[in-house]
Amino acid sequence: METGLIFHPYMRPGRTARQTFEWGVQSAIASDKAGFDSMMISEHASQIWENIPNPELIMSAAALQTSRIKFAPMAHLLPHQHPTKLAMTVGWLSQILEGRYFLGIGAGAYPAASYMHGIRGENMEGHRLEDAKAAFASGEMSKRLNDMVRESLYIMEKIWAREPFFFEGKYWNAGFPEEEPAHTEDDEQHKLADFSPWGGAFPEVAVTGFSLKSPSMKLAGEKNFKPVSIFSGLEALKWHWDIYSEANIKAGFTPDRQRHAVSHTIFVGDTDAEAKREVMEGPIGYCFNKYLIPIWRRFGMMAGFAKDHGIDELDADLEFLVDKVFIVGSPDTVVEKMNELFTKCGGWGTLQIESHDYYDDPSPWFHSLELAAKEVAPRISLPKQ
């Protein structure tokens, strides 16, 4: 099993931009040393707990201080950026990392972020965030955002091909000019900069899925992109794989569970008691009590977790999550829990560990990452089909 870190970054309110940036770079270096395969860095514009508008800045800062780990934005929200500018940014960063890069894309899950980028419901007027939330809840906004993702990808691919075109789309206009002829044999002034990805090919693309019947998983299957699920219960995880694999087969590909990454809350300690205490009393517990549990209730995730374990959603608190949903414990316990989960859902190839704010004392967190990479991942494999 591969190991990855997903850096949202869940920094508690009050952290400065410098502290968030430093923690991102420190996390990249520690993950690289521990033997992690990848680090995904989220892009968020509206949430105070998830405050990284430019994940590429952390990746570029970590590029010269790491040697093996691959980086990805997870995800660049395509509706929020002009496709040409994003294609140039992605291509250049991929060249800087010389192959240690893949592209994560998404449509955006937060109504406020879409509103900030000028995207709102058809019937929405004024500045009411509740109207933006209603547009998401009805599915109207999700359809538009996913249409924008498809148009953006089309333009980005055309930019990387470096062939002359001009496209007038529903959401964006973009083009690539014809290169002017050289005036003399030594003339280089006519040449256009090459921002195509490292190796000249379309980069590996990963797509996140969150909702129960995520349209992003259908897009990933159609395009043969890498599927990344945000764990929101066993039923949602099964739906994600079914949606992805059905679209993948229909498009002429063969689904491979090894490519599937699942983002989950994982903490590995020397003992079960030590791991549980650290999660309950440390930064992870603080984040869930103050931020994620209320968010999860709003998005319906707690209902999925409660259903998995046959309890009332209102009884699903932090301790329930630690004992029944998160993967917390000693290396032996974590391996046992992972294998049990794999048996129920069919398994996946990359354990994408959710990062938390251990900026003040990184040692417990970095120790957990070491144990996950060196004592857990080598002992987990996909069940035999």
Whether the predicted pLDDT of 197 surpasses 70: yes
Structure tokens at 322: 């630690």
What pLDDT, on a 0 to 100 scale, did the predictor assign at position 75?
87
Contact 297, 313 (CB under 8 A): yes
Q: Sign of the CA dihedral 49, 51, 56, 57?
A: negative
Please give the residue that has the higher pLDDT: either 239 or 118.
239
pLDDT of residue 351: 93
Higher pLDDT, 382 or 327: 327
pLDDT for the residue numbered 204: 92
Angle (CA) 354-366-316 rounded to 5° is 40
Query: Average per-residue pLDDT in the chain?
Result: 92
Q: Give CA–CA dist 171/149, Å, rounded.
A: 10
Contact 242, 213 (CB under 8 A): no
Q: Which two tokens stand for residue 219?
A: 């897009």
Q: Residue 10: name the closest of 223, 250, 265 by CA.
A: 265
Highest average pLDDT, of 7-11, 74-78, 280-284, comes from: 280-284
**Amino acid (1-letter code) at residue 212:** L
Q: State the pLDDT at residue 358.
A: 98
The predicted pLDDT at position 126 comes to 64
pLDDT tens per residue across span 75-104: 899 999 999 999 999 999 999 999 999 999
Tell me the β-bridge partners of 3. 351
pTM of the model: 0.92
CA 24 to chain CA centroid, Å, is 15
Pick the closest to residue 235 from 142, 152, 344 (CA basis): 344
Alpha-carbon distance 246 to 63, whole Å? 37
Distance of CA 284 to the CA centre of its chain: 19
Is 3 exposed, middle or buried, given 0-12, 13-18 or 19+ CB atoms closer than 10 A? Answer: buried
Percent of the chain with pLDDT over 90: 74
pLDDT number for residue 113: 87
Higher per-residue confidence, 113 vs 60: 60
pLDDT band (50, 70, 90) for residue 116: confident
Enter the DSSP assignment of 39.
E
Most confident listed range (115-129, 152-166, 171-185, 206-220) = 152-166
What's the number of CA atoms in the CB half-sphere (13 Å) around residue 106? 25
Q: Is 130 helix (H, G, I), strand (E, B) or coil?
A: helix
Mean pLDDT of 362-381: 97
Instruction: Look at 42-51, 244-253, 373-382 and tell me which has the smallest mean pLDDT.
Output: 42-51
Q: Give the per-residue pLDDT at 125.
A: 64
pLDDT at 81: 95
- Checking if the pLDDT of 123 tops 80, the result is no
- In this structure, the strands spanning 165-168 and 173-176 are antiparallel
Residue with the larger pLDDT of the pair 212 and 63: 63
What is the per-residue pLDDT across 152-188, written as a single tens digit (0 to 9) for each? Answer: 999 999 999 999 999 999 999 999 999 888 777 777 7
